[in-house]
Structure 1
Amino acid sequence: MNQNQSGFTKQMARNIFYGGSMFFALLFAVIVFDTESRIPERSNAQAITPGVIAGKKIWETRNCIGCHTLLGEGAYFAPELGNVYKRRGGEFIKAWMQAQPTGAPHRRQMPQFNLDDQQLNDLVEFLKWTGEINTEQWPPNIEG
C-alpha cells in the first residue's frame, strides 16, 4: 500500500499537530485574559489601607509564610490564615500572638514576636483584608 492509499499522511498529521497547538495556545490566551480581567473585581484592592500595608510588612519580615499558608501559598506546618479573621476575630488573633509560645505539649510552638499594639492592629487589619478577597471558596472549609 503506498502513502496515498493509507488515508492518513504525514502532511495530515502535521496539520493536526499545528492546528491543535494553535487552538490550545489561543484557548490558553483567552483563559489568561479572562482571569486577568477579573482580578480588579476580586482582589479587594480598594480596601488597602496604610494599616494593611504595614500588616503585610509584618507578615513578610516575621516570615509567617515559613510556617503558615495564606490563600494556599506557604508552608503547611501551621494553619491556613486566609480566613482566620472570619474564624476567630481580631481580638483572638491579638491575644493568641501575645500568648506565644503556649508551651502545649506535643505541639510545634509559635515564636513570640513581641509585637506592640500598633503592629498587632496592623497584622489583624492585613489578615482581615486578606479574608475579604474573593478567593472563590478557598480555603474549602472554614477551618482552613
Structure 2
Amino acid sequence: MAHPLEDTLIARQITPTPMRLLVLDVLQQEPTALSLADVELHLKHADRITVHRTLKTFTDKGLVHRIEDGSGAVKFALCAPDCTPGQHQDLHVHFFCLRCREASCLPTTAVPTIALPGAYQVQETSLVMKGLCPRCASDAALPA
C-alpha cells in the first residue's frame, strides 16, 4: 500500500524520492508558507541545492506556488488540487504578518478582478496584504 505523501507526488507526476517526501511532509505540517531557509531548518542535514531543486520541481508540477510577500525571501505553499503544471489556480489573497513575519494563504479570499486599460495583458496576479495575523493581533491587545 502506497503512502499518502507518495500518492500526492505520483498524482502530480513527480517521482517520490526520500528528499521530496521529506520536503512535502514539512510543507504539509506547517500552516504558513515557508522559504527555502525555513524548509532547511526543518531538515537539518539536507543539501540546500537539493531542497531548492525539490521546491522548483514542486512549483513546475503545480504542487506548490510561490509567494513574494515583500520580505525578500520567496515563500512556498501547497497549491489547490486543481493546479496544473504551468497553470496555478491559486488566485487568492496572501497575508504577511509584520510582527512574526509569517506569510499565510487565505484561500477563501479571492483576488478581485481588475480591468486594465488598452492592450495590457495580465500574465499573473497576486495580492499580498500586510498587517498583524490573528495570533499577533491578540498578543498586541494584551496589556503590557
TM over 0.5: no
Q: What is the TM-score normalised by the length of structure 1?
A: 0.30
Q: What is the TM-score normalised by the length of structure 2?
A: 0.30
Flag the structure with more relative contact order, 1 or 2, with Cα contacts below 8 A and sequence separation at least 6.
1
Give the structure with the higher percent helix. 1
